[in-house]
Amino acid sequence: MAKMSDKVIAYRYHVLDTLAKGAFGTTYLAQDTYLSESSKCVIKQLKPDSNDPAFLKIARRLFEQEARILGSLGNHPRIPNLLSYFESDQDFFLVQEFIDGTSISKELSHDKRWPQSKVQAFLEECLKILQFVHGLGVIHRDIKPDNLIRRLPDQAVFLLDFGAVKEISRNQGKTQLVETTIAVGTPGYMPDEQIRGKPHFSSDIYALGAIGIYGLTGIRPITFERSLEDEIIWEDHAEVNPVLAEILSKMVQRDYRKRYQSAADVLADLAKLTLQSAPEIAGTDTQVQISQAKVAAPAISDPAVAVSVKNDSQGTKPELATIFQVQDSWPDPSAAALKKTDVQTAVQLEQETLRVPADGAEHQPRWRRTALRLLLPTTILLGAGAGVFFLLERPNELGRMTAELNQLYGQQKYSECINKGESALASLTSSRQQLLNPLSKCYLEQANQMAAQKKFGDAVQMVAKVSDQSTYHFQAQEKLSDWSTRLLQNARRDYEVNGNLKQAMASVEHIPQSSLIKPQATLEAKKWQDKHNANQKKIDTAKKALKEGRAEDAIATTKQIKAPEYWKKVADQVQKEAEVAIANRPAPQPEWQPPSQTAAAPTWSSTPDSPVYEPAPAYQQPAPAYQPPAYQQPAPAYQPPPPPQKEVVNVCPGPLCTQ
């Protein structure tokens, strides 16, 4: 049971439990609060080794590049989907689909050896996943039991934990997506070239082979015994078909050049093993039923050929009993004529069916080949008699239409290709598969053109038409996820920034139901609508309060609106208007206060039966009486001094005397 936590990541993901902690970061089990309570997801928090801005810039670019690759990988049904990725506080986060299941490591132990059939089925499941992964140019590099999980409802095997993004914190500024000088993996499951930091696609095949040997022997790969040539010695510890043993030994060759070079090569050899393991027609008492596909011709009701083969240990020719189930009437022979091309195709089909490996030809009894030759033409003739043998329905017309669609595709006339292809499919009752590929690639290219013109709504509707039976399905799903995400981002911007709820809702409506983004987009759209109505109501309330002169109430209401950006701007504008209204109010007049009295006579109640005594106020010292100043003698008036007298000098008698 998950351990509840108070931690919330990005205001959305409520952490339920910590699944793992390591040098690269932490992995959490979380609940997406934007979705239902059962919507669990796995969040991987990756911590860069440095806070240097230049390093973070490169790390961010590598993280986003790797997230896009993980998004592409998630298009495979056995790889968890990448739901989201984002950066917060200089940490990087990956949000992936939660797979409810048990780790393959819990199925492996020294006392729990797997039967050969389980090992073979396990290898086939995992190799098909690897074939897709390697097709995208991605090497997992950490395939081990802990990274393989068996889903509980259907026991399907999933491949988890693509560790390439873990190198973000180790590249130290390198621009390569895969840093080849660093060994990434788990001891025991890493071949020599991967330990040297030079992984190949066959490195993943080695790891898968090591798990297969672990299952058969119960011996952990880290403890495998090795020969002088450093090859794994394991066959003495397991009861295994020699062919499967040869396949596993080739998967774990020390020299990567001697290993299988692709998952498809391993699957091809496993398919041969399956054919050899199937019940043989001359083995035990066996009954082989070859049934005609359901046809519309009324002349034959479920035609079939049943062959009973009895075992003959002496090598004598077995007895064949042929039983036909037919109606009383046969179709018109003129309608059942086989064309030359039909016969050639039937002969080719017979030859392919009877082809056996050169090294095993001597083990194929003549009578067995005779039995097959007897059955196949009979079935073909029955189908031809009905006039609608399912492998050969209108071959000339289908071939012509396929060639025409391919020609239109080459001429980049995608609309015309789509119109003709859809019309042709509508007229066919079977053999539709031949037209799916040319039509699907026209859908895909037409959608690419729409997306290039930023018409993501039209693009997702077009790419959703690509058949899941065509070879373009995974590519179409990748585009569908990418463009649906772009539509959702545009819708968020229309609502949060522009306040255009109608346009945002229209963008969400364009996302097809087949898109993995659709549930999230629908839920977000519902929240946008609720938030829009709530914010609009608050703004209306604030404007009404402002109109009625209650500016303070208007401000208090607008402060309740925190998001999104558009509504925050509207609230800020109303708040500014309220603040202006408060600033423009006239200053309040002071209230009139009556003059205070210095003394008052006691007041007696006029009611005789309930006198109320009111004491006189406390005595206050009266102000002193005015005293005029005492008389003082005025100062005498100012008398200026007399002017100075000029002194006269008498020079007479003397030499100056003129007298």
Lowest mean pLDDT among 128-132, 178-182, 497-501, 598-602: 178-182
Residue 262 has pLDDT above 70, yes or no: yes
Who's near 559: CB < 8 A, 6+ residues apart? 571, 575
- Please, what is the Cα angle at 51 between 47 and 53, to 5 degrees? 125
More confident: 105 or 308: 105
Average pLDDT, the chain: 75
Q: What 3-state class would DSSP assign to 121? A: helix
Q: What is the pLDDT, as a whole number, of residue 452? A: 92
State the residue for tokens 């790797």. Answer: 66
Q: What is the pLDDT, as a whole number, of residue 648? A: 61
* 159 and 140 inside one domain: yes
Q: What is the pLDDT, as a whole number, of residue 407? A: 86
pLDDT tens-place string over residues 43-98: 988 888 777 888 878 878 878 877 888 888 888 889 998 888 888 877 889 999 99
Average pLDDT over residues 208-224: 94
Q: What is the pLDDT, as a whole number, of residue 639? A: 80
pLDDT tens-place string over residues 512-536: 988 888 888 999 999 999 999 999 9
pLDDT tens-place string over residues 433-477: 678 888 988 999 999 999 999 999 999 999 999 887 776 777 788
Whether residue 600 lies inside any domain: the answer is no
Q: How confident is the model at residue 387 (pLDDT cuts 50, 70, 90)?
A: very low
Q: How confident is the model at residue 570 (pLDDT cuts 50, 70, 90)?
A: very high
Q: Report residue 99 as tokens.
A: 């797979």
* 36 and 129 inside one domain: no
* 316 and 223 inside one domain: no
Peptide bond into 333 cis (omega under 30): no
Cα dihedral value 513, 518, 522, 524, nearest 10 = -170
State the residue for tokens 């119960």. Answer: 218
Q: Over pLDDT 90: what percentage of the chain? A: 34
Who's near 649: CB < 8 A, 6+ residues apart? none
Q: Are 281 and 257 in contact (CB under 8 A)?
A: no
Q: What is the pLDDT, as a whole number, of residue 414? A: 92
Whether residue 610 lies inside any domain: the answer is no
- pTM score: 0.45
User: What is the set of active-site residues?
Assistant: 142
Average pLDDT over residues 12-31: 87
Residue 350 has pLDDT above 80, yes or no: no
Whether residue 122 lies inside any domain: the answer is yes
Average pLDDT over residues 365-391: 37
* 415 and 547 inside one domain: no
pLDDT tens-place string over residues 607-637: 556 666 677 777 777 777 777 777 777 777 7
Whether residue 597 lies inside any domain: the answer is no
Q: What is the pLDDT, as a whole number, of residue 606? A: 53
* 126 and 227 inside one domain: yes
Nearest Cα neighbor of 98 from 9, 213, 206, 17 is 17
pLDDT tens-place string over residues 125-150: 999 999 999 988 888 888 999 999 99
* 68 and 140 inside one domain: no
Whether residue 620 lies inside any domain: the answer is no
Q: What is the pLDDT, as a whole number, of residue 177? A: 36
* 51 and 111 inside one domain: no
Q: Are 404 and 420 in contact (CB under 8 A)?
A: yes
* 322 and 377 inside one domain: yes
Residue 419 has pLDDT above 50, yes or no: yes
* 312 and 245 inside one domain: no
Q: What is the pLDDT, as a whole number, of residue 517? A: 85
Q: How many domains does the chain have?
A: 5
Residue 388 has pLDDT above 70, yes or no: no
Q: What's 299's DSSP letter? A: T
Q: What is the CATH number of the domain that holds 223?
A: 1.10.510.10
Of 581, 602, 621, the position where a domain reaches its end is 581
* 90 and 131 inside one domain: no
Q: Report residue 504 as tokens.
A: 């945002």
Whether residue 427 lies inside any domain: the answer is yes
Residue 211 has pLDDT above 90, yes or no: yes
* 313 and 448 inside one domain: no
Parallel, antiparallel, or unpaired for β 286-291 and 320-324?
A: unpaired
CA distance readout (Å), 486 to 271, 313, 497, 511: 42, 68, 16, 10
Structural domain containing residue 485: 395-516
Whether residue 405 lies inside any domain: the answer is yes
Q: What is the pLDDT, as a whole number, of residue 113? A: 87
Q: How confident is the model at residue 155 (pLDDT cuts 50, 70, 90)?
A: confident
**Helix, strand, coil % (nearest 5) of the chain?**
45, 10, 40
Q: Are 96 and 89 in contact (CB under 8 A)?
A: no
Q: What is the CATH number of the domain that holds 414?
A: 1.25.40
Q: What is the CATH number of the domain that holds 79?
A: 3.30.200.20
Whether residue 111 lies inside any domain: the answer is yes
Of 79, 97, 115, the position where a domain reaches its end is 97
* 115 and 83 inside one domain: no
Of 581, 598, 622, the position where a domain reaches its end is 581
Q: Over pLDDT 70: what percentage of the chain? A: 71
Q: What is the pLDDT, as a whole number, of residue 658? A: 63
More confident: 278 or 477: 477
More confident: 319 or 546: 546
Q: Are 176 and 70 in contact (CB under 8 A)?
A: no
Q: What is the pLDDT, as a whole number, of residue 603? A: 58
Q: What 3-state class would DSSP assign to 224? A: coil
